[in-house]
Structure 1
Amino acid sequence: MPFVVAALLALLIPLHALSAQSSRADTGWHDPSPHTGRSVVVAPGVQLEVLDWGGTGTPMIFLPGLGNTAHSFDVFAPRFRDAYHVYAITPRGFGASSHPDSGYDSPSRARDVVAVLDSLGLSRAILVGHSIAGDELTRVAGEHPERVRALVYLDAYSYGGGGADLQLEGEPELPPQTLPPPAMTSADSASPAAMTAYWTKRYGVPAIEAEVRAVERFGPTGKLELFQAPNASEQVYLGSTRSEYARVRAPALAIYAVRDRMPDIFPEYATFDSTNRRLARAYVAWSKRYSAAQIGRFRTEMRCGMVREIAGANHYVHYQHADRVERMMRAFLTNRLGRAKAGCRVG
Structure 2
Amino acid sequence: MSAGRPRRELAVPVRDGRLAVTHWPGEGVPVLALHGITANALAFADVAEALGPDVPVYAPDLRGRAGSAHLPGPYGLAAHVADVRALLHHLGHARVVLLGHSMGAFVAALAAARHPEPFPHVVLVDGGLGFPPPGGTDVDALLEAVIGPAMRRLRMTFPDRDAYRAFFRSHPALAAHWSDRVRAHVDRDLVGTPPDLRSSCVLDAVRADGADVLHDPEVLAALHRPRTRATLLWAERGLQDEPRGLYDAERVAAAALDPQRVDVRRVPGANHYSVLLTPAATTAVAAAVHRARTTCASKGHEPQKT
Question: TM-score, normalized by length of structure 2?
Answer: 0.73
* Aligned equivalent of 1:202, options 160, 171, 175: 171
The aligned residue for residue 20 of structure 2 is 49
Q: Deviations over 1:304-324 (max 9, x none)?
A: 221121345321133443x22
Give the percent of matched residue pairs that are identical in Structure 1 and Structure 2: 23
| Residue of 69, 73, 97 corresponding to 1:102 | 73
User: For residue 75 of structure 2, what is the amino acid of its counterpart?
Assistant: Y
Aligned to 1:325: 281
Give the unaligned 5+ runs of structure 2: 138-147, 214-218, 300-306
Contact 1:37 1:51 in 2 (8 A): yes
8 A contact 1:259–1:313 mirrored in 2: yes
Could you give the per-residue CA deviations for residues 155-187 of structure 1, whole angstroms, max 9, x where no partner exists? 114346xxxx145889xxxxxxxxx97x99xxx
Please point out which of 85, 90, 93 is paired with 2:64.
Answer: 93
Deviation at 1:129? 0.3
- Which one of 202, 211, 231 corresponds to residue 253 of structure 1? 231
Which stretches in structure 1 are left out of the alignment for 5+ residues?
Answer: 1-30, 171-179, 267-283
The equivalent residue for 2:207 is 234
The alignment status of 1:215 with 2:156, answered yes or no, reads no
The CA deviation at 1:194 is: 4.5
Which structure is larger by alpha-carbon Rg, 1 or 2? 1
TM-superposed deviation, 1:259: 3.1
Structure 2: distance between partners of 1:100 and 1:234: 15
In 1, Cα distance between equivalents of 2:164 and 2:221: 34
* 1:249 to partner: Cα distance: 3.6
- Give CA deviations for 1:86-116 in whole Å, capped at 9, x if unaligned: 1101111111114344232222221111111
**Residue type at the aligned position of 1:308:** R
Cα separation, partners in 2 of 1:134 and 1:167, compared to 1, 3 Å: farther
Is 1:39 aligned to 2:11, yes or no?
A: yes
CA RMSD of superposed structures (Å): 3.6
Partner-residue secondary structure (3-state), 1:139: helix
**Aligned counterpart, 1:300:** 257
SS in 2 for 1:225: strand
CA displacement, residues 104-157 of structure 1 (integer Å, 9 cap, x when unaligned): 222222111111100121221111100011111112112211112421111114
Deviation at 1:237, TM superposition (A): 0.8
User: Displacement, 1:303?
Assistant: 3.9
Secondary structure of the residue that 2:30 maps to in structure 1? strand
1:239-290 deviation per Cα after TM superposition (whole angstroms, max 9, x unaligned): 3331421325464211111338xx9638xxxxxxxxxxxxxxxxx7xx89x7
Equivalent in 76, 79, 94 of residue 47 of structure 2: 76
Looking at structure 2, the residues matched to 168 and 316 of structure 1 have their Cα atoms a distance apart, in angstroms, of 29
1:40 & 1:249 partners in 2: Cα distance? Answer: 28
Q: For the residues of structure 2 that align with 1:117 and 1:307, how far apart are their CA atoms?
A: 26
- SS state at 2:117 partner: helix
> Structure 1 residues 212, 223: CA separation in 2 closer, same or farther (over 3 Å shift)?
farther
1:197-218 residue CA offsets vs partner (Å, 9 max, x unmatched): 4312215322623322222224
- The equivalent position to 2:161 in structure 1, one of 181, 192, 198, is 192
Change beyond 3 A, Cα 1:35–1:292: same
The normalised TM-score by structure 1 is 0.65
